[in-house]
Amino acid sequence: MVKYITKRILIMIPTILFVIFIIFFILHFMPSSPGRIILGMNATEAEVEAVNDQLGYNDPILVQYVNYIKNALQLDFGDSYQYSKPVFRVLLPKFPVTLKLALLSMLVACVIGIPIGIVSAVKKYSLADTASTVIAMLFSSILSFFFGVLMILLFSLKLKWLPSNGLGTWKNYIMPVLTLALPTAAYLSRLTRTTMIDTMKQDYVRTAKAKGCHPTRVIFCHALRNAMMPVVTQIGMSLAGLLGGAIITEQVFGLPGFGTVCLTAIQNKDTPVIMASVIFLSALFMLVILLMDIVYAFLDPRVMYKTVE
């Protein structure tokens, strides 16, 4: 297992460097310079050039890239142009909101989606299966921001049950979590149903049934473990996507999260914050995928052995 994890971590290093390379060169061609962004439109060209020289903006682009990598290895990602303080002092206080939103959304999605998928597979072509299929297609088709607006109109403006925006109490998380969780649960339910149906057709499941195993034991002890492997992979991908893709939902519900800071940085051309946020989310995405690979290896040790060989 240690060799397997080490190999996966080593693969992450060139991936991170490639992500930094792409983002760095894209942002380098932004039409405005750091000096102009920091000092504003009323500053003279001499003042702007002085700030650019101080920040190394006038150095060759490869020199800037190498210097950025050196500083990043020391966890120095520069200062925000907008807030004039280290970027992680800008980003990290906002990340717990996004992390809590993503984890709660994924938990709710799993609690709803996986049991419905199991029931649909066991009672294939029944009324419950048909109803879950229709509902899953409905939630999969609705855009998250539109679904969030509908929930605000119903539960905040019409019924006045829940707050529409901000972050005051646990009630502020209900609608954002459901907005992200229900479409994800719809997809997980269909995936669980498909994998369970395929697994129930396998020889070892038929053998367990022929030996007289209780149906519950057949489902949960024999079929579910193998059926869950693609689902676990999708859970990891969905969680990583929620961590980086909750920007629109945070905007709809006015949550002061990581996505809101990233969007503000893009609007203000705050390059250090954009760079650090992309690197942070990329590293986090790869760590989540690494965790899912480890879980996958525990579920099916053959994956680990094939990768290590």
What is the rounded distance in angstroms from the CA atom of residue 120 to the CA atom of residue 132?
7
Is residue 150 scored above 80 in pLDDT?
yes
The sign of the torsion formed by the CA atoms of 81, 85, 88, 89 equals negative
- Tokens 């060139």 found at: 14
What does residue 86 show for φ and ψ, rounded to 5 degrees? Answer: -50, 140
pLDDT for the residue 304: 53
Query: Are 99 and 26 in a shared domain?
Result: no
Residue 160 tokens read as 């006045």
Query: Are 78 and 172 in a shared domain?
Result: no
Digit-coded pLDDT (tens) for 164-207: 877 778 888 889 899 888 888 998 998 888 888 888 877 777 77
Query: Are 99 and 185 in a shared domain?
Result: yes
Query: Are 81 and 143 in a shared domain?
Result: no
Report yes or no: 219 and 61 within 8 Å, Cβ to Cβ: no
57 or 179, which is more confident: 179
What does residue 60 show for φ and ψ, rounded to 5 degrees? Answer: -55, 150
Is residue 299 scored above 70 in pLDDT?
no
- Tell me the CA distances in angstroms from 172 to 119, 141, 163, 246, one per residue in order: 31, 25, 6, 15
Query: Are 87 and 99 in a shared domain?
Result: no
Query: Are 261 and 302 in a shared domain?
Result: yes
Residue 14: CB atoms within 10 Å: 9
Mean per-residue pLDDT of the chain: 81
What is the rounded distance in angstroms from the CA atom of residue 229 to the CA atom of residue 267?
40
Residue 128 DSSP SS3: helix
Backbone Cα Rg of the chain: 24
Residue 56 DSSP SS3: coil
Query: Are 13 and 138 in a shared domain?
Result: no
Digit-coded pLDDT (tens) for 229-262: 788 878 888 887 787 667 778 888 888 888 778 8
Quote the domain boundaries for residue 36.
Answer: 2-92
What does residue 210 show for φ and ψ, rounded to 5 degrees? Answer: -65, -30
Residue 9: CB atoms within 10 Å: 12
Query: Are 187 and 59 in a shared domain?
Result: no
pLDDT for the residue 300: 63
Give the predicted TM-score (pTM) of the model.
Answer: 0.78
Query: Are 109 and 19 in a shared domain?
Result: no
Of 301, 288, 297, 305, the C-alpha closest to 12 is 288
pLDDT band at 108 (very low <50, low <70, confident <90, very high): very high
The residue out of 64, 92, 120 marking a domain boundary is 92
The residue out of 69, 92, 115 marking a domain boundary is 92
Is residue 263 scored above 90 in pLDDT?
no
Query: Are 115 and 257 in a shared domain?
Result: yes
Is residue 56 scored above 80 in pLDDT?
no
pLDDT for the residue 111: 92
Query: Are 157 and 51 in a shared domain?
Result: no
Q: How many domains does the chain have?
A: 2
pLDDT, mean of residues 75-91 = 84
The residue out of 51, 70, 92 marking a domain boundary is 92
User: Which CATH number fits the domain that encloses residue 303?
Assistant: 1.10.3720.10
Crossing angle (nearest 10°) for helices 224-245 and 95-122: 150
Per this entry, what is the length of the chain? Answer: 309
Give percent of the chain with pLDDT exceeding 90.
3
What is the rounded distance in angstroms from the CA atom of residue 244 to the CA atom of residue 224?
30
Query: Are 83 and 106 in a shared domain?
Result: no
**DSSP conformation class of 154:** I
pLDDT, mean of residues 295-303 = 65
